[in-house]
């Protein structure tokens, strides 16, 4: 962003390993990630909210 403006980036966990965003001064990271979990009893896949690992937090 140019001087005097703000840049807000919202990203998925895929961005952890594939993007480098320059000029970041502040970061808000809740330390959570949604993961697809398959339940063989119901035959359904659901999204489960889980805490991220320490290495994922460092990478972010």
Encoding tokens for residue 10?
Answer: 């919202």
CB-facing half-sphere around the CA of 17: CA atoms within 13 A: 3
**Following CA atoms 4, 57, 52, 25 in sequence, which dihedral angle do they give, to the nearest 10 degrees?**
-10
Encoding tokens for residue 36?
Answer: 């697809």
Global model pTM greater than 0.75: no
Q: 20-41, pLDDT tens digit by residue?
A: 888 888 888 888 989 999 999 9
- Distance between CA atoms of residues 30 and 57, nearest Å: 10
Q: 15-25, pLDDT tens digit by residue?
A: 777 888 888 88
């Amino acid at each position: 962003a140019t001087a005097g403006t703000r840049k807000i980036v919202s990203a998925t966990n895929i961005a952890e390993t594939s993007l480098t965003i320059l000029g970041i001064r502040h970061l808000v990271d809740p330390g959570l990630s949604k993961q697809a979990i398959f339940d063989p009893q119901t035959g359904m896949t659901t999204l489960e909210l889980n805490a991220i690992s320490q290495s994922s937090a460092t990478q972010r």
